[in-house]
Amino acid sequence: MTKVAKNRKVERKKLSYNKLKGLGEEIIEDVAKKDIPTLKVPSRGTSNIVYDDVKRYFVLGDRYGKRSLGNVKQIKKIGQMVHLANFCKNLVEIEKTATIREMYYVSEGWDIGFDNQQESNNVGEDIEVTLGMSREDLGLMPEEDGASVYGSIVFQEGDIEIDALKSGKSGYTISPTIDEVEFLDHNVERVIAVETMGMFHRMVQENAYKKFNTLIVGLKGQAARATRRFLKRVNEELNLPVYVCNDGDPWGFHIAMVIISGSAKLAHVNHDLATPNAKFLGVTASDIVNYELPTDPLKEVDILRLKELASDPRYQDPAWQSEIKKMIKIGKKAEQQSFSKYGLEYVVDTYFPEKLEMLD
Amino acid sequence: MSQQASELFDNFQELTPSEFFRKNKQMLGFTGKIRSLTIVFHELITNSFDAAEEAGILPEIEIALKRVDKDHYVLRHSDNGPGIPESYIMKVYCTMFAGSKFRNIQSRGQQGLGCSGCVLLSQMTTGEPARVKSAWEEDGEFKGTDLEFKMDVKKNKGMLLKRRKYEPQNTGVCIELDFKDVSYSLAEQGAFEYIRRTMIGNPHAKITFRDPTGHKYIFNRAADVVPILPKEVLPHPRDITADDLIFMAKHTNKRRFRSLLTSSLSRMSNKRLNEIEEISGIDLNKRPKNMKWEEVESIADAFSKMEFMAPPTSGLIPIGDKQIEDGMKEILEPEFISTTTRKPVTYRGGIAFIIEASIAYGGKAGRLVNDQKKSEVMRFANRVPLTFDQGSCAITEALKSIDWKRYGLKDLDNVPLTIFVNMISTQVPYLSTGKQSIAPEPEIIHEVRQATMKVARKLQKHLKAKKTAKEEALRSKIFEKYVPVIIREAAILAETEVPEFQDVLAKVTRRSLADLLGEKTQNKENIVDSENSEEELKEELDNNVKDINEDNIKDNIDDDAEDEVNIEDNIEDNSENIDDSVEKGTKRKDTQQTFEDLG
């Protein structure tokens, strides 16, 4: 298993390296042929982001823009792209990573630098879509850490082995460089991701990891790229079912949906980030009714958002449609922690078992 | 106690013109210290020009202005004209309404007031006599006289004080006058500016001017031809009133009214005469002296109802495009100039006129105000600069009505621009005796507009071409800077040698390969050149055409600009804009990014 993982890592690295090199070769070949070099950069505009019904996540369409060396407005971007590609190729080669902020500062020394971080972020994404690689593959990582993981799983990060059961009550923090991490061993049947760290700690205290033989993942709101990558990897590499449990409101719904079907903005890397097999456990509108949970009335912005979700291609599943309609109908929302109404243990002792059984 | 009518008339008296203007000197334009001096310059220069041209001499004037005390100056003005015979000298300088120009002819002066007005002002403010030296040719020999005289205002005549004969080498007149209550100024309305403008309207003249500080300015000729003398033309019937007809009838020796009309008016054919008889029902074979007011009134009335050919324009001599441009170039050294002369047309139905307009841009064009170049308008009537009362003038009104933005001048006031407009006519419709502004007749405004818009279009083309050239240069610079870097980086990326890329560079800069390579071998001169021109352009960018150039050039360099895009670019640009908005919508940290997909 370790060997497979290592091979996978080496393969990915090789692929990134060659793709970056290929970008340079493309330009040099054109020059050698005395043609004006052009790069095809897939368009990231909303009109080119399409929902793939089969893959069940957003992908980029086949439209692209051309960056020509002969266009006075595009030449600077080409310059920034080749500089950035060289920087990334070097990172991949020496097996280091840099944050996009660091990359921005490094660019100060380039002949064609960036005017602001926004510009460097955009060019970074241009390279991602052009090569079809995620920024993590290119040695660039996001600033923020991922979620917390608690449960019976052992990671290898560099030379260190980490047991997520023995990393303190807050668990193991998913690193932005999650692709560098190998899964050495585990003894779980499933993964339950929860929106808040409050719920995470409740589950740790109530020994939920033992009761359900599960990994507990504390998302801390919208899931970071590293968290999504982690969930996809445990789902696909370890074949573990993934459940997401969030607050019972449109925002909680959507945190789950971004994990399941990816975001439109990252359509070009959703193949590495989306976990279409993940399941939404709750809190659903039906839960609010069935469990008679304490609620807050829906605000106007909540209703607006629910209506948006109803027309979003990712929510076309009838189950989602009926939950959204139901929530609008009852006009109420509820937090995960509202199960405490029935005692602190209730959510782990009663709610989760019932829901898991229902979904399986 | 009431007075008897005879007593009331005890004080009845007659006022000579000189007396009248002594009390109303503002009517001669003498108001304010600066303006008074400018008007003096104007009158003397105008007279010298008219005299010289009539004699077929290229005018050459020397003016020296000395400051004796605060507000007290001595002006010495001499010309190379034909001179004035002794017996006419005091008539010219001391008798109001005496002159040779009361004709229907295109000329600078018209009223015979100018020179005597100057003498009057001098005498009123200082009490000093006028000194005039005149040299003229008589029976093949030069004669010269040196007079000192005062003006007898009561009699509207000169009063000789001293007289001396001398033997001159050339013809010409030299007059010396003292003035108080005047002041020399470099302002737009000042005497110096008056000379400068005079030179533009009269490029065939030469003026040497020594200012009160002793500095000598020499304005050289830009043209060597004496302007063709305008011919007197008969008045057009449309320009004739009943009163004119009665006056003509009284002073004619013609025996029939019919022949009076044909000999004193233009466009008066037999056919027209018959038409007049038909419309007015008056027998034109009557003796002129027997014409009654009612009769001439109905004839004048007939004139206004009839169709006449436009008045003859042979009497109108425009300055001409080349001469104007020569004059403008000499004084303004502009980067661009365009001039046009309109065809003769008429106003008020019967008075022919021609509008000439020229526009000069860059160089010394425009006026420098506090280190800032401002645009200026130079108004002329029969080559004479109009410096005052610009607000009510037809030229000002016409220029104001033009939408300058359409000609690439968004901020007309702050552009190094000189607009020249000259009206040529046998009768310029001045708004007042000061003769400083032209009545806003609709036909005149229309002509000024048409002429100016034509030259403005040419200027717009020039500015556009200049902008394009600058953009092309900037564009080329960008490529020359970026292409080598990109190819070097691409080679590093591809782990290969940097290939030969001059061909690609030539393609993208749209310049020939030879041009690119050639520049490398002899780059020194070229670099100096391009630096200069770039500096110039930059300066212009900063000062003048900010709005025109800067924005657009910036757009062109700017990556996100949206000019000049092909379809693929469009897709690209769109996607980028959308991306931008997505980014904006998701600026919050990932942990709070619940809105991420709002897109």
Task: For B364-418, write each residue's pLDDT tens digit.
Answer: 898 888 888 889 999 999 999 998 888 889 999 999 999 998 888 888 888 999 9
Q: Which of A87, A115, A141 is the last residue of a domain?
A: A141
- If you measure CA to CA, which chain A residue comes closest to B574? A45
> Is A255 found in the same domain as A230?
yes
- DSSP characters for B96-123? TT--S--SSS--S--SS-HHHHHHHHHH
* CA–CA–CA angle B212, B213, B217 (5° rounding): 85
| Bond preceding residue A283 cis, omega within 30 of 0 | yes
> How many distinct structural domains can be found in chain A?
2
How much is the pLDDT for B548? Answer: 37
> End-to-end CA distance of chain A, in Å?
28
* CA torsion angle A232 A235 A237 A240 (round to 10): 160
Residues A219 and A354 grouped into a single domain: yes
Q: Helix, strand or coil for residue A282? A: strand
Angle (CA) A177 A178 A179, round 5°: 90
Instruction: Please tell me whether residues A229 and A282 are part of one structural domain.
Output: yes
Sequence-ordered list of residues with C-beta below 8 angstroms from that of A206, at least 6 positions apart, any chain: A344, A345, A347, A348, A349
pLDDT at B110: 56
- CATH number for the domain that contains residue A9: 1.10.10.10
B232 domain-assigned: no
Q: Are residues A128 and A158 in the same domain?
A: no
Q: Are A105 and A173 found together in one domain?
A: no
Low-confidence ranges of chain A (pLDDT < 50): 1
B224 located within any domain: no
B406 by Cβ neighbours in 10 Å (0-12 / 13-18 / 19+) ranks as: exposed
Tell me if A65 and B561 make a contact (CB, 8 A cut-off).
no
Output phi, psi for B15, to 5 deg. -100, 125
**Distance from the B510 Cα atom to the nearest Cα atom in chain A, whole angstroms:** 9
- Among left, alpha and beta (phi > 0; psi -120 to 50; other), residue B366 is left
Please tell me the pTM assigned to this model: 0.61
Domain stops at, among A114, A141, A168? A141
Domain at B96, CATH number: 3.30.565.10
Catalytic site residue from A51, A105, A291, A342: A105
A287 known member of a binding site? no
Residues B572, A142: C-beta atoms closer than 8 Å: no
Do B544 and B396 share a domain, yes or no?
yes
Pair (A192, A120) in one structural domain: no
Is A308 part of the contact surface with chain B (CB cutoff 8 Å)? yes
C-alpha atoms less than 13 angstroms from C-alpha of A269 in its C-beta half-sphere? 23
Convert B32-45 to b/e letters by CB count within 10 Å (16 or more is b): bbbbbbbbbbbbbb
Looking at the structure, do residues A104 and A180 belong to the same domain, yes or no?
no
Residue B1 resides in a domain = no
How far, CA to CA in Å, does B510 sit from each of A105, B258, B473, B552, B574?
35, 76, 11, 20, 27
Query: Do B418 and B501 belong to one domain?
Result: yes
B373 shares a domain with B416: yes
A113 and A195 in one domain? no
Q: Does B479 touch chain A (CB under 8 A)?
A: yes
Q: Could you give the CA distance from residue B539 to residue B545 in angstroms, rounded to a whole number? A: 10
- Number of domains present in the structure of chain B: 4
DSSP B499: P
Whether residue B342 sits in one domain with residue B436? yes
Q: What's residue B520's pLDDT? A: 43
* Nearest one of B18, B203, B46, B230 to B121, comparing CA atoms: B18
Cβ-based burial of A300 (10 A; exposed 0-12, middle 13-18, buried ≥19): exposed
Nearest by CB to residue A70, choosing from B508, B578, B590, is B508
Tell me which chain B residue has its CA closest to the CA of residue A266. Answer: B597
Q: DSSP letters of A183-222?
A: EEEE--SEEEEES-HHHHHHHHHTTHHHHTTEEEEE--SS
Q: Which of B270, B305, B340 is the last residue of a domain?
A: B305
Question: What stretch of H or E contains A144?
Answer: none
C-alpha span between B241 and B334 (Å, rounded): 47
**Whole domain around residue B279: which residue ranges?**
237-305
Q: B300 and B324 share a domain?
A: no
The token pair that represents B498 in the structure block: 């940097």
Domain boundary among A141, A164, A196: A141
My answer on whether B328 and B296 are in the same domain is: no
Which residue in A30, A38, A41, A72 has the most chain B C-beta atoms within 10 A of its own C-beta, making it the best mutation to test that interface? A72
Residue B281 shares a structural domain with residue B329: no
A-proximal residues of B, 490-519, CB under 8 Å: 490-496, 499-501, 503-504, 507-508
The answer for residues whose C-beta is within 8 angstroms of residue A339's C-beta and 6 or more apart is A291, A293, A346, A347, A351
> In chain B, which residues have their Cβ closer than 8 Å to the Cβ of A25?
493-494, 496
For B222-236, give one letter per residue: b (16+ CB within 10 A) or e: bbeebbeebeebbbb
Expressed as residue numbers, the domain containing A13 is 2-141
Residues A61 and A11 in one domain: yes
Which residues of B define the annotated binding site for ATP? 47, 79, 100-101, 109-116, 435
Residues A14 and A225: their CA atoms lie apart, in Å, by 22
Is A105 among the catalytic positions?
A: yes
Other CB atoms closer than 10 Å to residue B163's CB: what's the count?
Answer: 12
Residue A263 to residue B596, Cβ atoms within 8 A? yes
Residues B112 and B248 both lie in one domain? no
Q: Which residue of A has its CA nearest to B554?
A: A73
Residue B453 backbone phi and psi in degrees, to 5 = -65, -35
Does one domain contain both B274 and B410?
A: no
Q: Indicate whether B310 belongs to any domain.
A: no
Identify whether residues A69 and A201 lie together within a single domain: no
Same domain for B267 and B368?
no
Cβ <8 Å between B572 and A222? no
Q: Does A224 touch chain B (CB under 8 A)?
A: yes
CB contact (8 A) between residue A74 and residue B590: no
Nearest CB neighbour to B572, from listed A43, A49, A79: A43
Compare CB distances from B490 to A27, A121, A223 and report the shortest one's residue. A27
Report the complex ipTM: 0.77
- Any CB–CB contact under 8 A between A264 and chain B? yes
Q: Which of B219, B247, B273 is the last residue of a domain?
A: B219
Is A265 close to B485, i.e. CB distance below 8 A?
no
CATH number at residue B343: 3.30.230.10
Instruction: Name the residue with tokens 């320009």.
Output: B239
Nearest chain A residue to B476 by CA: give it: A72
Residues of chain B with pLDDT under 70: 1-3, 97-105, 107, 109-112, 511-599
Q: List the single residue in B with minimal CA-CA distance to A80.
A: B486
User: Is A173 touching B (CB cutoff 8 A)?
Assistant: no
A298 and A277 part of one domain: yes
CATH number at residue B301: 1.10.8.50
The response to whether A308 counts as a known ligand-binding position is no
**Residue B597 with chain A: CB contacts under 8 Å:** 254, 258, 263-265, 312
Verify that B492 and B370 share a domain, yes or no. yes
Chain A positions touching B577 (Cβ under 8 A) are 45
pLDDT of residue A5: 61
CATH of residue A196's domain is 3.40.1360.10
Do B545 and B572 belong together in one domain? no
| Four-CA torsion B563, B568, B574, B580, nearest 10 degrees | -100
Cα distance between residue A139 and residue A79, in whole Å: 19
Q: Name which of B471, B555, B579, B587 to mutate to probe chain A: the one with the most chain A Cβ atoms within 10 A of its Cβ.
A: B579
State how far the Cα of B569 lies from the Cα of B580, in Å rounded to an integer.
16
Q: What is the pLDDT of residue B457?
A: 94
Angle at B182 between CA B29 and CA B146, to 5 degrees: 90
Count CB atoms within 10 A of the CB of residue B445. 22
- The C-alpha angle B299, B300, B306, rounded to 5 degrees, equals 85
Is residue B518 included in any domain, yes or no? yes
Report the residue from B494, B591, B597 with minimal CB separation from A263: B597
* Whether residues A88 and A163 fall in one domain: no
The pLDDT, as a whole number, for residue B111 is 60
